[in-house]
Every structure is written in C-alpha cells, then in structure tokens.
Amino acid sequence: MDIKIKVQRFDSKINREPYFQTYDIAAEPNERILDCLNRIRWAQDGSLAYRMSCGHGVCGSDAMRINGICSLACQKLVKDCKGPDIVVEPLPNFVVIKDLIVNMEPFFARVNQVRPYLIAAAEAASKEFKQLPEDRKKLDGVIRCILCACCTGACPNVTANAKFLGPAPLVQAFRCIFDSRDSQHLERLKQVDHSDGAWGCDNLFKCTQVCPKEILVTKSINLIKQEIEKSLR
Ligand code: FES
C-alpha cells in the first residue's frame, strides 16, 4: 500500500520553528513505523534524524509521538495507524535537538534523583541476599520499565509543572521502595513525599495508557502515596 508519513522536522542550529515534511512510501500493513523511517532515511532523505538501537522494544530509544500517541516506533505497525497521513512528532515535554531527537538529559537526571539502585544494609553485602518469591512478585510490573519516556511525554502533569519528577522516575522509586532487600525504605518515601514528587500526579492515567511495556504506572504511584500515608504519617 502507498502511505504518506508526515514528519515534524526541526534543526535547532538552522530553524527557528518546526515544520512538517511529508514523505510518500510503499509499506506493508505489518511493517513498523521504524521500518518506514529507516526506508525514508536510506532511500529518500539522509538528513532525517531519529534515535534507534535494538529495533525490538528493548532499548527504549525510539520513543516518539505517532498519530498523537507516545509510542515506540519499533512496536507501532502501519496497520494500527489510522490515515490518511501518519503523523510522526518528537516526544512532547522534551526539548527538541533535531527532528525526532529530543534532549533526554533532564529526564535521566530526574531518574538518578531517586537513586534507582538497591541500597542494601551493610551486613547483606558479603553474602547472597535472598528474596521471597512473594516479595519479588511485587516488582513484576515495574521491572519491565525500559526508560523510553513515553509516559513522561504523555503526562499533562509534566506539561503543567516543570519540577514534577514525572512517571518514569516514580516507577524507578517504586522499584526500590517496595524491594524487600532495600535498606532505605523511609528515606526513599520522604524523598518523593511532596507536591513535585508522588503528590504531583493527578491520576490522569495517560502514562498507563501509553506505556509500551503495559506497566500500571498510575497504580504504582498511588501505591507509593498509600505507603507514604501508612509509614510517614
Ligand atoms: S529501537 Fe530499541 S526500543 Fe525501539
């Protein structure tokens, strides 16, 4: 089938405003939007800029807005995009560097803010640190996060409040708060107990709707809020 892909273009070194460029290509319904972008770049326009790496929903580098929905280009199929044109834009809530490439540094700085790694008690360091299957199960959903930032791109609370930690960093916080082996439970709760932390989420569920790994992001944030009420009040 012949399709039109309308891509938002912008080069911060050249353009003052973004603009759209439409490419005509032939594509199979089961092809992914990433396949289409690759073909455009390889055969039509080598200047088109976007990130990709694994091509299989693992690295999270090709998050973008496709027909208004934040998605991974390597997971979104042509047949799932309603025409006439397929509109591809960079992730909202991020500064665009070039075309579909956004500056991810502030996002990863926020992730690092929550210390997204296990901090075990000193006595646990010298031996195997076991976890009960039921405790491990509590982390089943959140460990799927690939930090693609689709959730942050889709979140109206991030749009309204530039200081809001945002959904993905809160998912990382959840990962550690509810890890039975972590020694910083209360400190971690205190770290997100404010209006720019867990309480910055207004339960709009946009993050949950777009998460390519089907993580219950909003529910996870609400569980953090409940834990704050239980343990800090
Ligand atoms: S290219 Fe790695 S997630 Fe899509």
Give the domain CATH number at 189: 1.10.1060.10
Task: State residue 120's pLDDT score.
Answer: 87
CA of 135 to the centre of ligand 1 (A): 30
Whether this model's pTM surpasses 0.85? yes
Same domain for 213 and 179: yes
pLDDT at residue 96 greater than cutoff 80: yes
Same domain for 118 and 89: no
Same domain for 146 and 187: yes
**Which of 71, 102, 133 is at the close of a domain?**
102
* Structure letter (DSSP) for residue 91: P
Same domain for 219 and 109: yes
Same domain for 206 and 113: yes
Nearest C-alpha neighbor of 4 from the set 28, 22, 29, 21: 22
Q: Which residues pair with 5 in a beta bridge?
A: 23, 86
Can the peptide bond before residue 84 be classed as cis, meaning omega within 30 degrees of 0? yes
Probe residue for ligand 1, chosen from 52, 77, 145 as the CB with the greatest number of ligand atoms within 8 Å: 52
Residue 54's domain comprises: 2-102
**Which of 48, 78, 102 is at the close of a domain?**
102
CA of 146 to the centre of ligand 1 (A): 9
Same domain for 216 and 170: yes
Same domain for 221 and 140: yes
Task: State residue 32's pLDDT score.
Answer: 97
CA of 74 to the centre of ligand 1 (A): 6
Same domain for 227 and 208: yes
Exposure of 43 by Cβ count < 10 A (0-12 exposed, 13-18 middle, 19+ buried)? Answer: exposed
pLDDT at residue 38 greater than cutoff 70: yes
pLDDT at residue 165 greater than cutoff 80: yes
What atom of ligand 1 comes closest to residue 54's alpha carbon? 2
Same domain for 177 and 134: yes
**Which of 72, 102, 132 is at the close of a domain?**
102
**What residues are in contact with ligand 1 under a 6 Å CB criterion?**
52-55, 57-62, 72, 74
Q: Where is pLDDT greater, at 1 or 55? A: 55
Same domain for 109 and 94: no
What atom of ligand 1 comes closest to residue 58's alpha carbon? 3
pLDDT at residue 127 greater than cutoff 80: no
Mean pLDDT in the chain? Answer: 96
What atom of ligand 1 comes closest to residue 60's alpha carbon? 3
All residues at 6 or more sequence positions from 172 whose CB lies less than 8 Å from its CB, including other chains: 111, 114, 116, 142, 145
Share of the chain above pLDDT 70, in %: 99
Judge contact between 76 and 66, C-beta under 8 A: yes
What atom of ligand 1 comes closest to residue 72's alpha carbon? 4
Nearest C-alpha neighbor of 71 from the set 147, 148, 144: 148
- How many domains does the chain divide into? 2
